[in-house]
Structure 1
Amino acid sequence: MSKQEGINTINKAMAALPTRLSDTILKHIHLLTEYEPVIGIMGKTGAGKSSLCNALFAGEVSPVSDVAACTREPLRFRLQVGDHYMTIVDLPGVGESGARDTEYAALYREQLPRLDLVLWLIKADDRALAVDEHFYHQVIGEAYRHKVLFVISQSDKAEPTSGGGPLSMAQKQNISRKICLLHELFQPAHPVCAVSVRLQWGLRMMAERMIKCLPREATSPVVSQLQSSFRTSVVREQARSDFGETVGAVLDSISAFPLIPAPVRAVIQAVRTTVVSVARAVWDFFF
């Protein structure tokens, strides 16, 4: 099924509306289907940012930033699957250079408003978290804590290391303690995830949690970028529901426009439930 068929089906559900108005609504819905999410990923050198992105996302990667550009500008990579795009912003990890951290604080304050989500990677065996904690509370603060998802990376390196096999019970217990510690230090808005790319452990749960943390307009385009094994029924239903809600929000915002006559507003409100339900039903046409 094509995107055009999806648009036509939604259009039919709005048959009672004046054509000019339904055309305006369809333009807004079309923009929603082309939304390009921006996800920041941060962590100290060796935290495994690239390997996590490669494990999660299926998109064809192309660098956007000029590497020779100003060092304060983080590297940006654009991912493409079909006609859907997403940008990953590689943010520098804090705590490696005191002189740089002040510079990074300014960079983060500039970047945060533009990001849909930040994946903050902390290695399972990293014990030096004081700088991270300070940076989180001083720079991320209350305003943006809802945008941060903490991820304990390289869980296979948690003590006692098991020589390359699956995670031992003792390792899992230590990872649980690490999760509790991060909750204590950072008081994050979202539950902390733990993954091991090497063992393919925890990635599915992390993908599901990431989709729940994203703003509604970003979930479907991000789902379209995920490796097929992570496009679980939980992930797809979340995205489908969010798409319906964003379409409903389009109708609400147009209905609230002061120049809309009362009888037309009543028709918008009358068709809203049907349009949202149809949008959910045709989600697969778009994503």
Structure 2
Amino acid sequence: MSDRILTGQIPDALKQSLSRLPVVLSEAMVERLLRCVHYEPVIGIMGKSGAGKSSLCNILFSPPPASVDAVRGCTRHVHRYHVIRGSRTLHIADFPGIAETPEPDRQYRRLYRAWAPNLDLIVWALKADERAWKDDLRCYRELLGTGAAPERFLFVLTQADKMEPCREWDNASHQPSPRQAENLRAKTELAATLFTTVYPVIAVSAVENYHLEQWAEALIKALPVSSSSAVFHHLNPELRTEYVQEIAREGFISVAGAIFDEAALVVQTSARLMYQLQRLRRRFLAIIRAVWHLLF
């Protein structure tokens, strides 16, 4: 898809708000905005095999990535899935199960170094009923040791319905019993402490639709603002709550503001021109807020 075709997708009101800028600047801004609008995010998924990674992805995104054939990645150890809606694509990199492959730990370090520049976020799935996460913890610490930033990781407690005493799960209301809820609270606090997480750890159940809205909020918050709106587009419609939408929209507005500010720096500014630029910036961002739903 050419930039010329993409430019036609920018609402006229938005282009008009930039018409007072030099043409070369307004065109550069439109091009950068379009690259953000059509950005294709890449989310990495880590955790042990059987931790419910596929189930979680299938319930979060639309269409479910498991309905798309897996494509082997650049190595034989990572699977890539493509979630396609219209002309937009979300990429998911499914890393091999921890502690279940014969390859030495350095293979994980090589994998992360190879993939890190292309990953917007890594979602790490921890089984709620797992008694020990020593393998997860060891691998995570090794990744941090190679330079991975903690804010690039979002931990999630999966299969909450299997938390003991699992027979007490309330199937009618799709909620844990009081004892299960207490155990889940303690387990999420333990995970947050052990992994020193930047973001809250939320217990979810894909099969029971438990806490999925809260976790969708956590996902959008953890993503870089440059990719949150693009990921929002791929969420299951039932998870696109007003709050999640607001998070994504405000993130994109902040990106648009940064683009405007960088363009304004190259303009020779007098006090009068600075005032005009500030007015233009406010109008520009107001229009971005109004047309965001048309862009995404």
Give unmatched runs, 5+ long, in structure 1: none
In the alignment, residue 66 of structure 1 is paired with which amino acid? R
What is the rounded CA distance, in whole Å, between the counterparts of 1:233 and 1:99 in structure 2?
44
Number of the residue aligned with 2:110: 106
Deviation of residue 225 (structure 1)? 0.3
Q: Percent identity between the aligned chains?
A: 35
What is the rounded CA distance, in whole Å, between the counterparts of 2:190 and 2:94 in structure 1?
25
Q: RMSD of the alignment, in Å?
A: 2.3
Aligned to 1:135, which of 133, 136, 139? Answer: 139
Instruction: Identify which range, 12-21 or 191-200, moves more after superposition.
Output: 12-21
In the alignment, residue 22 of structure 2 is paired with which amino acid? P
Give CA deviations for 1:196-239 in whole Å, capped at 9, x if unaligned: 11111011100011000110111111111011110000011111
In the alignment, residue 200 of structure 1 is paired with which amino acid? N
Q: Secondary structure at the match of 1:59?
A: coil
Give unmatched runs, 5+ long, in structure 2: 1-5
Higher relative contact order (CA 8 A, sep 6+): 1
Instruction: Identify which range, 54-63 or 168-177, moves more after superposition.
Output: 54-63
What is the rounded CA distance, in whole Å, between the counterparts of 1:201 and 1:105 in structure 2?
33
Aligned to 2:162, which of 153, 157, 166? Answer: 157
Number of the residue aligned with 2:248: 239
Aligned to 2:227, which of 218, 235, 239? Answer: 218
State the TM-score, normalizing by the size of structure 2.
0.88
Number of the residue aligned with 2:210: 201
Deviation of residue 3 (structure 1)? 8.7
Number of the residue aligned with 1:175: 184
Residue 147 of structure 2 corresponds to residue 147 of structure 1 = no
Give CA deviations for 1:119-178 in whole Å, capped at 9, x if unaligned: 100101112211221221221357421011100000111111126634211111111111
Number of the residue aligned with 2:22: 18
Matches within 5 A, 1:1-150: 4=8, 6-59=10-63, 61=65, 62-63=68-69, 65-66=71-72, 70-72=75-77, 74-97=78-101, 99-141=103-145, 143-150=148-155
Aligned to 2:287, which of 274, 278, 281? Answer: 278
> Cα distance 1:106–1:268, how it changes in 2: closer, same or farther (>3 A)?
same
Q: Secondary structure at the match of 1:262?
A: coil
Deviation of residue 12 (structure 1)? 1.4
Instruction: Identify which range, 216-225 or 7-16, moves more after superposition.
Output: 7-16
Aligned to 1:261, which of 268, 272, 282? Answer: 268
Number of the residue aligned with 2:198: 189
